[in-house]
Amino acid sequence: MDPAGGAAVAVRAPVPTWLVTGERAGRREAAIAARLAHDDGAGGLELPTVIILEGLSDGGSALAFDPADGSVGVAPVPKVLRIAPGCLHCSGNLVLRVTLNRVLRHPPARLYISLATAEHLELLRAWLSEPPYGDLLDLQSDIAA
């Protein structure tokens, strides 16, 4: 319980978050897959990683995880979410805001956000640094694919 007599409020660590940019969806997805393969086993993650991808895949995505075929190689299996293409900053961040709010209800171990264009990357980074996301996300260095 807190000193005021109310229920204790659990403080959670911010989610390490990377913004991934690059001209081709396949390259962005391959960069994330390589990072996952490199980080797997580092820290014994119990929570899945969440990957938010803007737009459609080029086909043959490096992030198509199918535990049934035994080729996942990452545990637990990452949750991949695709959102509609279009500048996440110019759209008023509505689609990203809704997606982030859903993801952060049960915070993942790591979060990758793949952007189709880096045109407004700094504005998006600034928006993610403001409340409420500034306290919930630990923005890492950007990944250029």
CATH assignment at residue 41 = 3.40.1010
Is 5 inside a domain boundary? no
Is residue 99 domain-resident?
Answer: yes
Task: Give the rounded percent of residues in the chain with a pLDDT score beyond 90.
Answer: 35
> Mind listing the pLDDT tens digit for each residue in 41-99?
544 557 889 999 887 766 666 666 555 555 555 557 788 888 877 776 676 678 889 99
- DSSP H helical segments within 40-139, as ranges? 94-104, 121-129, 133-136
How many whole angstroms from its chain centre is CA 82?
11
Task: Give this prediction's pTM.
Answer: 0.81
What residues are paired with 16 via a beta bridge? Answer: 138
Nearest to 99 by CA among 87, 122, 119, 82: 82
Residue 60 in any domain: the answer is yes
Distance between CA atoms of residues 68 and 59, nearest Å? 20
Q: Which residue has the tokens 């995880």?
A: 65
Is residue 57 included in any domain, yes or no? yes
Give me the number of domains the chain comprises: 1
Domain that holds residue 128: 15-144
39, part of any domain: yes
**1: pLDDT strictly greater than 50:** no
Which of 12, 29, 47 is CA-nearest to residue 138? 12
Query: Does residue 96 lie in a domain region?
Result: yes
Please tell me the least confidently modeled range out of 47-61, 98-112, 116-130: 47-61
Tokens (6 digits) for 116: 């189709």
Residue 21 placed within a domain: yes
Is 3 within a domain?
no
Which amino acid, one-letter code, is at 135?
D
C-beta separation of 17 from 142 below 8 A? no
In the DSSP assignment, the letter for residue 57 is -
